[in-house]
Structures are given as C-alpha cells and as structure tokens.
Amino acid sequence: MDRGLPLAVGAMLLALLLTGGASAAQATRNPVRALAAPVCADARPSPVINAVPWTQERYAPQRLAAFADGRGVTVAVIDSGVDARHPQLAPAVVPGRDLLDGGTGTVDCASHGTAVASIIAARPVPGVGFRGLAPAARVLPVRISEQQVVDGGTVGRTVPPAALVEAIRYAVSHGAHVINISVVLYQDHPEVRAAVREAVDADVVVVAAVGNLHDRGDPTPYPAAYPGVIGVGAIGPDGTRLPRSQVGSYVDIVAPGGQITAATRVAGHATYEGTSFAAPFVAATAALLRQYRPDEPADAVARRIFATADPAPGGPGSTEYGHGVLNPYRALTERPAVGPEPDPPAPLPAEEVDPAAQALSAQRTGDRRLALRAAAAVGLGALVTLALASVLPRGRRRRWRPEAP
C-alpha cells in the first residue's frame, strides 16, 4: 500500500473529519471506516518527471524570479510532514514540529505534505523540469496527520483539534510569514477559530484548501471558512473547476489543482489532484509578495492576490471561482488598489460673518488702495523729474537743434 501511495493521491482528500475532539482511536464512531495506521517505512524513490509541468508553463517561475524568489520568507506547512531528504527540498526545510510522534516534522508517511511543500519551495535541479514557485523560501514543517481517504475509508492517524491549535500557534511563534493548511476540518471548533484569529492578528497570511467534497453536498470546510483565511479551490489545465472542488462563499480564489506534478517522499515525483495542491500555489505567491513588498501587511497581500486574479466563469464573487484564477505575475507587477478608498474630506464649517468686522475689512482694503495709488503717483513724478533734469541741459547746449547723425 505504501509504495502505491503516490498513485493513489489523486483520490486523496486528507480531511481531518474530527468531531468534538475525537481522537483517531475513536474514529470508528464516524461514518467513514478507520483502519490501522500505516507503517512509515522507506520506499524506493519515485521516478523523476523531467517534463516541465503545465503549471510552470502557465506561471513561468523564471519571470517571477526577476522580482522575487521567496528568499527570507518562512512558509509553515501544517500537513503530514515534509521529507527533508528529497534533493529539491533538503536546502529548503528547517526543523519544525511533529505532533504525531515527536520530532522535527521531517518525516512524511503520506507524501502529501512533501508534495505541498515542493509546490511552494522545491529548488531547481539540472535535468528536472519541476521546481517550486518560490524556490528560495524556507519551509517550516508541522506534522499533524497522515490520514488519507482511500476507497471511501479513512486510513492513518491524525490529531485532535487541540493539536491543530498547537500547530498554528507553533508556526506563528517560530516566525512563519505564511501558513499553508491543506487539511480540512468539517466542523467548526472555537479553539481552532481562535488560533486562526491569533495568526491573522499577528500579520500572518493564512491559506487553506476548501476541500474536495462537492459531490457530498459541499460541507463547510475549516479553517478555509474562517474570517481572514484565503480559501482556495482547484482548477484543471483547461481552466475550469475540478468536479470535486467545493463550492461556496468560502472560495476566495482558485489555482491549479489538477494533474499537478510535485515531489514524493524520499525522492522523485508523482501526479496529484485536489484543492490540497491548489492552496500551495497561493501560499507561494504570498511568499513572493512578502519578500517583494515587505512593508505590506497580510490583509493587503490577500487583497492584492484577489485584485490581480484572472477572470473566471461567473465573474468576481463566484461561489465556484471566488475572485478568479491566481496570477502570481500580475500580483507582483501590477499596482491595484489594495485598500479601501479614503473617505472624501468633510467640508469645512461655514464661518459666521460679523458685519462690523466686514465693514472694517472693507475700509482697510480701501485705505490700502488709496495708499498704493498715492505711492504710484509719487513714483511717477520722481521719474518725470529725473527725465527732465537729464534732457533740458542737453537741449539748451544744442539750442534745441537736432543732433547730427
């Protein structure tokens, strides 16, 4: 099962279907079946995909590199861990936190978090077509789950909501500028809501997948539906929404999520599907903006991403496409209005008119005019006198005859 995991990721939802703080051991009460946790053993590396993915033909990271590459920006990946052994991720991953087994979060039994992190920050390698959108960014892994949905059943361990709270707070306290959450809760937990609010208040850009349960009635996904979180849906290479990508007011923007090339654990690459892999494109764009516009707060980064999105079916505000399709190049290069227009200045209050003061002012104005006229007359007289004093003696000397040429 472990060796075939990358091939099954296309059907993977990696949803944390938790209720009331239930642990994985209590998951048998849920409508999905709970199976034994898989053993995380080393597998043979997946094949390297040399072709340039369609997403890079669309977004052209080499054009983005002229403006930003994510250098100096930390992106927390709250997921199934990130395998730091992967050649394209080893320089990017910094020690994080493992809330499943303890450790630094650099173990990934599911390849899910590794794939997400690689879409953000995989380093370029000669002979490999795939690379991350922000290839100089740091990745801070926080491991909270290895759950996946295979054949309609939930497989693997996960953490209760309290641990997700701890994961978010850990990311904030350890310098994350952006947090990517490609796992989904389908129940609102006040403590998770509070942790997200703390992250937003701490000027962190929080990006979350909206989930893949459109065929099950679009249950509200958290934390994507929380205020201040960028909820990301998925499109395929043809630009249309993936059939399973959820629809609702929580969809703020869409990004590539179909036929996605990304890294697997250990080494190599695989093809992935779902909103989990759309979210990191937005997180990477946020990382580029946080480097290129370091003084711009997180909410302005989000508004800039929305304002520069490409048009999508349904127009801005669509429940399927949100503000439109992510466009990192436009987000970096255009100068949209990213804040509310300032209110026009209030008209100054009308001054009360004092008749006596008005009369005095008019009298002073008249006096000034008379004084100016008198001064002008005196000045003109002085000029005439000077002219006569010069001309009369010369005329007398010539006896008023014209001067010879």
In 293-354, which residue ranges form alpha helices assigned H by DSSP?
298-307, 328-333
Annotated catalytic residue, options 46, 69, 79, 86: 79
pLDDT, tens digit, 9 for 90 and up, residues 298-351: 999 999 999 999 999 988 899 999 999 999 999 999 988 765 543 444 443 444
- C-alpha separations of 66 from 69, 79, 134, 196 in Å: 8, 30, 12, 33
Share of residues in the chain with pLDDT > 90 (%): 65
pLDDT, tens digit, 9 for 90 and up, residues 226-261: 999 999 999 999 999 999 999 999 999 999 999 999
Q: What are phi and psi of 119, to 5 degrees?
A: -60, -30
In 70-142, which residue ranges form alpha helices assigned H by DSSP?
112-121
The contacts of residue 405 (CB under 8 Å, 6+ apart) are none
Average pLDDT of 35-49? 68
Query: What does the chain come to in residues?
Result: 405
Annotated catalytic residue, options 83, 118, 276, 323: 276
pLDDT, tens digit, 9 for 90 and up, residues 46-92: 999 999 999 999 999 889 999 999 999 999 999 999 999 999 999 99
CATH class given for the domain over 5-333? alpha beta
Q: What are phi and psi of 109, to 5 degrees?
A: -80, -15
Predicted TM-score (pTM) of the model is 0.76
Residue 69 designated active-site: no
Say yes or no to pLDDT of 376 above 80.
no
First-to-last alpha carbon distance for the chain, in angstroms, is 120
Residue 151 designated active-site: no
**Domain residue spans of the chain:** 5-333, 355-405
Residue with tokens 């509070």: 194
Annotated catalytic residue, options 112, 177, 189, 323: 112
Residue with tokens 């978090």: 113
The contacts of residue 146 (CB under 8 Å, 6+ apart) are 37, 38, 40, 80, 81, 100, 108, 109, 110, 112, 156, 157, 158
Q: Which pLDDT belongs to residue 83?
A: 95
Residue 79 designated active-site: yes
